[in-house]
Amino acid sequence: MKLHLALALAALLPASALAQTDAGTATYKVTFQATWSASSHPGAFPGGAHFSGIVGGTHRTHTHFFELGGLATSGIEVMAETGSQGALVSEVGNAIAAGAAGQTIQGAGIGTPASTSQTFTVTDSFPAVTLVTMIAPSPDWFLGVDGVELLQNDAWVDSLSVPLYALDSGTDSGTGFTSFNQDTNPAEPIALMTSGPFFGTTPLGSFLFERLDSVLEYGTGANPAGSLAASGPARIGQPVTFSLHDTSGTMAQPAASFLAISSAAAPGYPAGLPIPGWGLSGPGTSGDLLLATIDQVLVGPTWNGAPADLVLPVPSLPALVGLELFIQGVLVDSTPRIAVTSGLHFVIGS
Ligand SMILES: [Ca+2]
Ligand SMILES: [Ca+2]
């Protein structure tokens, strides 16, 4: 339903109208790559080492949930000392209510080394992200980023990796991983750890921010690689150019081109259902049908020996973010011969 609506709109709206609509949001995946281990930090890797669930949110550029040199909020204190997310989630919630933050971000805790990912959406109003996680066990040590800007020079960054060094929240005076609680009163400023077990320049992990969208070619050798390609990102509000091509040069010219679109891949992905005679590598060969169903067929330009390009404007509908499409090209010549291209697994981002 959503797919049909999107494609119907795509067919109705000119590319220029779509291109200039809302480019104000972007969806990201953040991957917390925990690298802390006995080999990365010899002598500073206690039994049961792990990280609490990441917690934070998206927010305005000048909003802070913590700052180096500033005092920890109760949300940061509780997170750094116990790994509990609730108090900081409340602080982000208050900021959302006050119009200073966009959304909360929460994940589950992990061992180390390991990695875990979350997705979130940033907007023109809330282009920055703050995330923290407790180094555990520890008195009040944590990793975090304070207001990473994902909108730089009016463009969303594609990928950004931020190394994470141990921070001390200044709210407990314990000096060892399993020291008894010793509340620091009055609290001290949040600081990069320069003494104790984490004094070096080796990060304990990183946050990798990646803008979400992907186009992946799939199929087997039965469908020649490169016979269907896409240029342009898979993002709402942006046009994508699909190029169908008989890379083997065995189709008769001219040939009609079509683009078949499905919401599901054929069973056996990345392989498909072999159809005798539908091979693009030569007359009489077998080609794989790579789609489970054919939900929509778009007519492309005539293939005359050069790639046949079909431009599809992806509608600027936020509901499409995350939608997966499976796309395969079909060429039909006057012999008559039908042949199918490789497939594209298309995940729409923003
Ligand atoms: Ca401390
Ligand atoms: Ca404390």
CA of 139 to the centre of ligand 2 (A): 8
CA of 197 to the centre of ligand 2 (A): 19
List, as ranges, residues with CB under 5 A of the ion ligand 1: 140, 168, 172
Could you tell me the fold of the domain covering 213-347?
Immunoglobulin-like (2.60.40)
pLDDT value for 77:
98
What integer is the mean pLDDT of 260-275?
94
CA of 173 to the centre of ligand 1 (A): 5
As given in the structure block, the two tokens for residue 334 are 């006057």
Q: Which amino acid is at 255?
A: A
Examine the pLDDT at 22 and tell me if it is beyond 80. Answer: no
CA of 204 to the centre of ligand 1 (A): 17
pLDDT value for 6:
47
- Which sequence spans correspond to the domains of the chain? 25-211, 213-347
Q: Which of these ranges, 13-17, 30-34, 166-170, 300-304, has the smallest mean pLDDT?
A: 13-17
CB 86 within 8 A of CB 122: no
Neighbours of 2 (CB within 10 A): 11
As given in the structure block, the two tokens for residue 122 are 């940033």
Q: Which residues have C-beta within 8 Å of that of residue 205, sequence separation ≥ 6?
A: 32, 33, 34, 35, 36, 51, 112, 143, 163, 164
CB 242 within 8 A of CB 259: yes
What integer is the mean pLDDT of 48-59?
98
CA of 167 to the centre of ligand 2 (A): 15
Examine the pLDDT at 20 and tell me if it is beyond 60. Answer: no
pLDDT value for 290:
97
pLDDT value for 213:
79
Distance CA(96)–CA(98), nearest Å, equals 5
Q: Of the ligands numbered here, which is closest to the C-alpha atom of 72?
A: 2
pLDDT value for 32:
98
What number does CATH give the domain 25-211?
A: 2.60.40.2130
Q: What pLDDT, in 10s, does the model give residues 154-213? A: 888 888 999 999 999 999 999 999 999 999 999 999 999 998 899 878 999 999 998 877
As given in the structure block, the two tokens for residue 155 are 């463009």
pLDDT value for 196:
86
Q: Minimal CA–CA distance to 315: which of 22, 1, 89? A: 22
What integer is the mean pLDDT of 280-292?
96
CA of 27 to the centre of ligand 2 (A): 35
Helix axes 74-82, 86-97, angle to 10 degrees: 150
CA of 182 to the centre of ligand 1 (A): 9
Q: Of the ligands numbered here, which is closest to the C-alpha atom of 140?
A: 1
The CA distances from residue 253 to 185, 223, 246, 305, 337, in Å, are: 82, 19, 10, 7, 11
Mean pLDDT of the chain, nearest integer: 91
CA of 285 to the centre of ligand 1 (A): 70
Distance CA(36)–CA(209), nearest Å, equals 19
Say if pTM beats, i.e. exceeds, 0.85.
Answer: no
Q: How far does Cα 127 stand from its chain's mean position?
A: 16
CB 93 within 8 A of CB 30: no
CB 29 within 8 A of CB 110: no
Beta bridge partners of 77: none
- Do the first three CATH levels of 25-211 and 213-347 match, i.e. the same topology? yes
Distance CA(127)–CA(336), nearest Å, equals 54
Distance CA(122)–CA(102), nearest Å, equals 7
pLDDT value for 241:
94
Q: Which residues have C-beta within 8 Å of that of residue 184, sequence separation ≥ 6?
A: 140, 170, 171, 172, 173
pLDDT greater at residue 216 or residue 325: 325
